[in-house]
Amino acid sequence: MRQRSQGAIVNTCSLSALCPAVRQSHYDSSKAAVLALTRSAAVELAPRGVRVNPVPSGLIERYGIEQDWPDGVARWLERAPLARVGSPTDVAGAYPFLVLSLASWITGQNLIVDGGITASPAY
């Protein structure tokens, strides 16, 4: 990236960095740190032609999530406009987009992939 004076870094983040969950302060704060680091790097690396963006994703399915966090999954499903938990494939498309030249003027911005949960009413 230094030799070409261009490049892109995409960091994985969690929606919990922006929308904290009940009894998840330890997790939420660690994800907020990733978000802050990513945005700071975007500012610091921009003069070198390097773009840095985070992809905060919503609740993503994994083996055992319903058993490990039944109340959280239930709360998610009650509010999610697309009425499901996301899959890794749902999030995967954000990464190639952010490294393409089509995104050459995007840096330090959240590309939120959450099935519409942040668009749903809080109350």
CA dist 73 and 101 (Å) reads 37
Whether the CB-CB separation of 73 and 117 falls below 8 Å is answered with no
Among all residues, which ones are annotated catalytic?
27
**Closest listed residue to residue 11, CA positions, set 60, 65, 53:** 53
